[in-house]
């Protein structure tokens, strides 16, 4: 029973994260979504470790994963700050046309907003769509 629940939990968590990446318009949310998917990965590692008995190795892997994802998120956050300082917006339209092919909502998003139109963009930046 526990195995099944583990599988359900990690798949649902991963789904939430993936859905967020696809549906969001705010770059910081993409970071949060990646963190959520990494939690699903930790759950999978717990399950794998329990199944094959190599708990120590699974735990070591999980620790490395957590630390690395934290550093990745830090760099991502700094990139977001830099992008926002340049354009005043955190909209996914900033990523350009190629991104629109990969991330569906970008196609409907507003492109980089000029500083004079800052207000709705700022509202969007910290309200997150």
Partner 1 sequence: MGILFLLVPLICLFILNLPRRGAAAKLAPWVLGVVAVLQMVFAATSHLACWEPFIGFFTLPVPVALVVDPITAVLLFTIALVVAVVTVVGIQGDARDKVITSSLVLTVMAGMNGVVMVRDLFTLYIFLEITALSCFVLIATRKELRSLSAAFRYFILSGLASLAMVLASALVFMQVGSLDFALVAAAINGQDPATMTGLILFVVAFCIKAGAVPFHGWLPEAYSSSSSAISVLLAGATTKVAGVYAIIRLSSEVFAGIPGPAQAFMALGALSIIVGAFAAMGQKEMKRMLAFSSISQLGYIVLAAGLAGAAADVTVSLGGLQTSIAMLAIIGAVVHFVNHALFKSLLFVNAAAVEEQCGTTQLDQLGGLTDRMPVTGWTSVIGFLSTAGLPPFSGFWSKLLIVIALVLANQWVYAVIAILMSLVTLGYFLILQRKVFFGELRKGFEELKEARGALVGTSLILAGLTTALGLLFPFVLLLLQGFGLV
Partner 2 sequence: MGFSTVTIIILLIAVVLAAFAAVVVRTLPAATIFLAVTSVFLASALYLFGMQLAAVIELSVSAGLVTAILASAIALLKPADDKPAATEAGRGDASSNAPANAARNSRLMRYLALPIIMLALAVALLILAPDLDSSLIWTDIYSFSPQALLWGERTLDIIALIFVILAGVLGVAALIRRREGEER
Q: Write out the residues near partner 1 by the rule CB under 8 A.
A: 14, 21, 27, 30, 34, 37-38, 40-41, 44-45, 47-49, 51-54, 57-58, 60-61, 64-65, 68, 71-72, 75-76, 79-80, 82-83, 86-87, 94-96, 98-99, 101-102, 112
Cα–Cα nearest to 121, from 113, 100, 16: 113
Give the CA angle between residues 57, 62, 66 to the nearest 5°.
150
Residue-wise over 40-78: b if at least 16 C-beta within 10 A, else e? bbbbbbbbbbeeeeeeeebeebbeeeeeebeeeeeebee
How many residues touch partner 2 (CB under 8 A)?
74
| Residue 91, binding choice from partner 1, partner 2, none, Cβ under 5 to 8 Å by partner class | none
Interface positions, 49-108, toward partner 2 (CB under 8 A): 49-51, 53, 55-60, 62-64, 66-71, 73-75, 77-82, 84-86, 88, 90, 105
Q: Which CB, 71 or 98, lies closer to partner 2?
A: 71
Whole-angstrom distance, CA of residue 20 vs CA of residue 101: 17
Of the candidate residues 30, 39, 93, 113, the single one contacting partner 2 (CB under 8 A): 39
Minimal distance in Å, beta carbon 100 to partner 2?
16
């Amino acid at each position: 029973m526990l195995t099944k629940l583990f599988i359900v939990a990690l798949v649902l968590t991963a789904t939430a994260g993936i859905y967020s990446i696809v549906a969001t318009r705010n770059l910081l949310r993409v970071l949060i979504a990646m963190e959520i998917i990494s939690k699903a990965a930790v759950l999978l590692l717990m399950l794998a470790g329990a199944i094959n008995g190599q708990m120590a190795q699974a735990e070591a892997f999980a620790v490395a994963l957590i630390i690395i994802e934290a550093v990745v998120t830090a760099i991502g956050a700094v990139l977001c700050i830099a992008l926002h300082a340049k354009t005043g917006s955190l909209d996914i339209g900033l990523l350009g046309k190629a991104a629109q092919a990969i991330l569906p909502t970008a196609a409907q998003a507003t492109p980089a907003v000029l500083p004079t139109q800052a207000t709705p963009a700022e509202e969007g930046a910290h309200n997150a769509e």
